[in-house]
Amino acid sequence: MVDLVELIKKKERKVIGVLSGTSVDAVDIVLINIKGTGIKSEIQVIDFQSFKIHANFKDFILKCSRKCENDVEDICKLNFQIGTLFAKCINNFLKLRGLSGKSIDIIGSHGQTIYHMPQITGEFGLKTKSTLQIGDPSVIANLTGIVTVGDFRTADVAADGDGAPLVPFLDYILFSDKIKSKILINIGGIANLTYLKPSCKIDDVIAFDSGPGNMLIDCLCRHYFSKSYDKNAKIASKGKINKVLFEFICSEDKYFQSKPPKSTGREYYGIEFLNKIIKKSKNIPKEDVLRTVTEFTSYSLYYNISHFIKQINISEILISGGGASNPVIMNSLKSYFGNSKVGKLELNGINMANKEAVLFAVLANETISGNFNNVPKSTGARKNVVLGKICLA
């Protein structure tokens, strides 16, 4: 405990952020140096690397995420397997750079979301929301020898929030501006957005999951073309938007039209939603199906911003996540928001690839400092909380 007390006293820390996203493609690891906390944080990205997740293991993780296929034994094993995988990747990351665990102050780990239920359920007279991220931080801490902070969503859910999105805290720190209005969009498996008005305060931040990001696109690529994703939108670029299918998706998707605060995941945009699209698309060229679904990702973002932010004349819109590498999505967003500057996120070494990993490093730094690090207006929580559990090495 003496070491933890000394860690808490430090004003500058080296922190690792680690996650595997909704798409379960890779373990992303970033190493940052951070001075201070909150809005006064000074963040320097030292290095970043992605470690690809083996296809068979990815399939097993996705199986465990499907309600109809998982079982308690598999999830129990997977909790330790993911923790072990994260630790192995972190140790490799450090070894490749000639660093030891002793040179790192903290690890911030998101874990892997297995199931997310932001809706209140009331079985047995106990009304709760719930979420489950596995890859236990105690496993990571003990296999790396580094204090690890993890399980960031739970405290917000315990305070009646959705536990998501978490990224608006980082967006506020990095991109608040006295003059410009900004929207930060992250397009991973799910798309989320953060709106920062000029001279924004933390209580002014609006953020939520808008709808599907790459999830449906990736699933259709595997189903139709035996590819893990549509690299550079080469397939979608060959197709045309099918109006009938597009309108069908809009009518079937009740989430993207729902009012924030809100969050979603594979539970909603999973196999059942995908099968509806496939069934409706029997007589439609496969490239057109992919093009139409890709357009829907862009449109759902436009719909949410125009209806719930109620502004389309935003000074700047910055895109991160895998979707920022999809030219069809980017061109559609530029078309929808013709009066705004739309581009890929890049700031002091923080970019579209490493931003989410940076988030969990920053959240861990706040947790160790004992600071509130949720955004209740975005998650719907009834109070500010300190996110994350501290696991000693």
Nearest partner of 294 among 337, 340, 373, 238, judged by Cα: 238
Pairing type for strands 112-121 and 128-134 reads antiparallel
Region 25-54 average pLDDT: 97
Q: Which CATH superfamily is domain 2-164+351-391 in?
A: ATPase, nucleotide binding domain (3.30.420.40)
For strands 148-150 and 106-109, give the pairing: parallel
Is-contact 62 82, C-beta < 8 A?
no
What pLDDT score does 371 carry? 97
Confidence of residue 22 (pLDDT cuts 50, 70, 90): confident
What's the length of the chain? 393
What's the CA gap between 258 and 209, in Å, rounded? Answer: 10
Nearest of 118, 120, 379 to residue 261 by alpha carbon: 379
Cα end-to-end span (Å), the chain:
10
Q: Which pLDDT band holds residue 304 (cuts at 50, 70, 90)?
A: very high
Look at residue 3 and tell me whether its pLDDT is greater than 90.
no
Q: Are 129 and 117 within 8 A, CB to CB?
A: yes
**pLDDT at residue 21 in the model:** 80
Does the pLDDT value for residue 312 go beyond 70?
Answer: no
pLDDT in tens, 189-205: 999 999 999 999 999 99
From CA 355, how far away is CA 358, in angstroms rounded? 5
Confidence band (pLDDT; 50, 70, 90) for 23? confident
For all residues of the chain together, what is the average pLDDT?
95
Kindly tell me if the per-residue pLDDT of 2 is higher than 70: no
**Percent with pLDDT over 90 in the chain:** 90
DSSP label at 71?
-
SS3 37: coil
Backbone angles phi, psi at 113, to 5 degrees: -70, 125
In this predicted structure, the answer to whether residue 291 has a pLDDT above a threshold of 90 is: yes
Given a cut of 90, whether residue 122 has pLDDT beyond it is no
Over range 126-137, report the average pLDDT: 95
- Residues 247 and 105: their CA atoms lie apart, in Å, by 51
Q: Is the pLDDT of residue 70 over 90?
A: no
pLDDT in tens, 207-241: 999 999 999 999 999 999 999 999 999 999 999 99
Over residues 4-29, the mean pLDDT reads 93
Sheet holding 206-212, edge to edge: 206-212, 190-196, 182-187, 316-320, 341-344
Q: Which two tokens stand for residue 268?
A: 């909603």
Residue spans of the domains in the chain: they are 2-164+351-391, 168-339
Whether omega for the bond prior to residue 118 falls within 30 degrees of 0, making it cis, is: no
- Name the least confident of 121-130, 216-225, 349-358: 121-130
Q: What is the pLDDT of residue 311?
A: 67
Distance CA 251, CA 236 (A): 22
Whether 148 shows a pLDDT value over 80: the answer reads yes
Residues pairing with 115 in the sheet: 132
Q: What is the number of other CB atoms lying within 10 angstroms of the CB of residue 120?
A: 10
β-pairing, 389-391 vs 12-19, is unpaired
Q: Which residue in 349, 342, 348, 350 sits closest to 318, CA to CA?
A: 342
Q: Give the mean model confidence (pLDDT) for residues 362-368.
A: 98
| CATH architecture, domain defined by 168-339 | 2-Layer Sandwich (3.30)
